[in-house]
Amino acid sequence: MVDLFKSMSDLKSELEKIVSGEVDASAKSRDFYSNDASMFELRPDVIISPKDSSDSQKIVKYVSENKGKNPKLSITPRSAGTDMTGGAINDSIILDMTKHFNQIIEVSSKSAHVQPGVYYRDFEKATLEHNALMPSFPASRQLCTVGGMVANNSGGEKSLEFGKTEKFVQELKVILSDGKEYEIKPLSKKELDEKMKKRTFEGKLYKQLFKLLEENNKEIKAAKPKVSKDSTGYHLWNVWDPKKKIFDLTQLIVGSQGTLGIVTDIKFKLVKNPKESGSLIIFLNHLDNLGEVINKVLEHKPATFEGFDNYTLKLSFKLFFDFRKTIGLKQTIKLGLQLVPSLINFRRGIPKMVLIAQFTADTDEEIVKKVRDLHWDMAEFGHDALFEEDETEQDEMKFQIMRRESFNLLRKKVHDKHTAPFIDDLVVPPKYLPEFLPQLREIIDRYELVATVAGHMGDGNFHVIPLMKIELESERAKLEPAMREVNELVLSYGGSMSGEHNDGMTRGPWLDQQYSENIMSHFREVKNIFDPKNIFNPHKKTDSDWQFSMDHIREHF
C-alpha cells in the first residue's frame, strides 16, 4: 500500500508541475470517478480538470513519453459520466472536461460552436432561443453533455426523423496521440492529397487511413449494419466516399468513445424546432400483426415512434402513486386525470404493447390532419387495436412520463437489486419484431431476469435493462450466456448489438460476433494508426476483454 500511495503521489506531483488545471488524487474523488452509469467499476489514480487545450496536450505528451516505464498510464476523457457501457471509467488518468471546457461559444438558427463539457440541457436552452435544436439528444438529455453525445454517437426519440449525432457534427478539434491539436472536418480529394503529403504524424495518419479505406472499400461498405441506427465499432464506411470524393474524418471520431483522441471543440449543424406536436396512441391487444402496424405508421413519417410492452405498463400502474416522489403530487394528480380515457380503453385487458406515434408541425391544423390521417388509415386494425388521439400536446406525453418514472422508481425501490445494462440497446429491422420480441422475452424469462422492454419502435431499437443482485456469483454467471443468446438472436435477424449506447466494456468483447475477422482487423489497424501506444481509453472497443470486464463488476452501488 505504501508503494502504491507513493506511486500515485509521485504521479500527482509530476502532473501538477505541467498543467495549470486541478489535479486530484483524493480517495473521495477516486471513488466518485470509478463509476459511470454502467455495471462496472475502475478506480482511477488521478483526476485532472484541464484548464485548456494546452493542458490536455501536455498530459497526452507526458503519458506518451512515460508509457514505456509505466505501461499502466492512459487517459480517459469524461464529462457527465452517464455512459452505460463503462466508456467513461479508467484505472489511470481521468480528464474531467466539465469544469473548464464548458463554453457555448456561438449559436445561430443553423449552427452552433460549443465545447464538449457543456451539458445538453444548457445547450438546448441556447439553441431554442434561436428556434433551433440539435435533435439527436438521448433520454438522459437533462444529465448528459454534448461531448458524451459525440463520443457515443448518441441518438434518441428524434433519431427516426433526423438521424443520430454523426449527422450533425460539422467540425471537431481533437488532440491526437502525438500531443497536438488538429482541426478535423470534411476534406475534398485535393485537400486530402495535401494532408497526405505532410511528413508529420498527421500526414502519416491520413495516408495510412486512406490506403486502408481505398484498398478495402467494398468489404468495408458491405460491413455497415443494415439498420437505421448503430453505435458499434468504428464507422469506417462513412469516412471515404469515392463517388463524391469527400473524406470526412469526423465520422470516425464520432462514436469512438475517446479511444482515438480527445475532443476539445465541436461545431454542430442545427435544425428548426417545430412549434406544435400531437400523437396517436395505439394499444395493441396482441403482437401477431405488429410488423404491419409498424410499417403502416412509418408510411405516415412520424417525428417519433416509441413503444413499450405490457410489463412496463403494469409496472407503471403498480408504482403510480409513488410518482409523486419524483414529479410531485400536483403533476401526479394531473397525470391520473389524463389517464382516465386510457383506463376505459383497458376494460378489455392490459394491451400487449403501447405505441406512441408523434407528429410535429408549425400549426395546430397540420398536426390535427396528420394525427387523424394516421388514425383513419389504421382502421384495418380496428379489431386488434384501440386508439387514442392527443392532437394538441401542451406537455410531455403521459405515457412517456409513465415509462420513464416507472423505471426510475424501480431502480430506487428494489433495494436489493441493481441495474445491469448488458443487453440494453439492441436493434433489429422493425419488420421482424413480431417474431423477435417473443423470443427475446423467452430468453429474459428463462434467465429469471426482472426486465421491461421499451424503446424506439420506428428504428427497432430496444432498451432492456435487467435488475439483478449483481454482487452474487450466481447472478453474474447469467451475464455471459444470456448476452451470447441475445446477441445471436439479434444478429440472426440482421440487427446490431447497439443502436445508441456504444460498446465500451459491455459490447466491445462481443464485436467479433457482429463483424468478420477481416473487419475486426481493420478496426484494430485504425486504433493502431491513431494510438500506437494505446494511451487513449483502454479496455474499450478493439481493446476489450470479457474477463477484464467481469473482473471489474461494481462492488458498490
Poorest-confidence range of 223-232, 265-274, 277-286, 541-550?
A: 277-286
Instruction: Decide the pairing of beta strands 385-390 and 304-309.
Output: unpaired
pLDDT for residue 275: 78
Cα 168 from Cα 174, distance rounded (Å): 17
pLDDT at 556: 63
What's the pLDDT score for residue 435? 87
| Furthest C-alpha separation in the chain | 74
Compute the average pLDDT of residues 276-296: 84
The mean per-residue pLDDT over the stretch 83-107 comes to: 97
C-alpha to C-alpha distance for 367 and 364, rounded to whole angstroms: 5
In this structure, are residues 372 and 387 in contact, taking their beta carbons and an 8 Å threshold?
no
pTM: 0.91
- Mean pLDDT is lowest, of 4-8, 174-178, 435-439, for 4-8
How many Å apart are CA 204 and CA 196, to the nearest integer? 7
Cβ proximity of 423 and 486 under 8 Å = yes
Which of 62-76, 348-362, 485-499, 542-556 is least confident?
Answer: 348-362
What residues form DSSP beta bridges with 354?
283, 308
Instruction: Look at 21-25, 74-78, 243-247, 312-316 and tell me which has the smallest mean pLDDT.
Output: 312-316
Q: Which pLDDT band holds residue 101 (cuts at 50, 70, 90)?
A: very high
The full set of domains in the chain, from first to last, is 2-96 (3.30.43.10), 104-272 (3.30.465.10), 276-413 (3.30.70.2190)
Residues 6+ apart with CB under 8 A from 453: 308, 309, 311, 312, 437, 440, 441, 444, 462, 463, 464
Q: pLDDT-derived band of residue 487, with 50, 70 and 90 as boundaries?
A: very high
* Among 276, 312, 288, CA closest to 453: 312
Phi, then psi, of 28 in degrees rounded to 5: -60, -45
Higher pLDDT, 312 or 456: 456
For residue 467, give every residue at least 6 positions away whose Cβ sits within 8 Å of its Cβ, in sequence order, or none: 410, 411, 414, 417, 418, 419, 420, 449, 450, 451
Q: Cell digits for 358? A: 408523434
pLDDT band at 391 (very low <50, low <70, confident <90, very high): low
Report whether pLDDT(138) > 70. Answer: yes
pLDDT value of position 53:
97
Write the CA distances from 11 to 19, 27, 112, 482, integer angstroms. Answer: 12, 15, 37, 41
| Confidence label for 5 from pLDDT (cuts 50, 70 and 90) | very low
Q: Which triple of cell numbers denotes residue 323?
A: 410518482
Of 89, 251, 178, the C-alpha closest to 532 is 178
Q: If pLDDT is split at 50, 70 and 90, which confidence band does 142 have?
A: confident
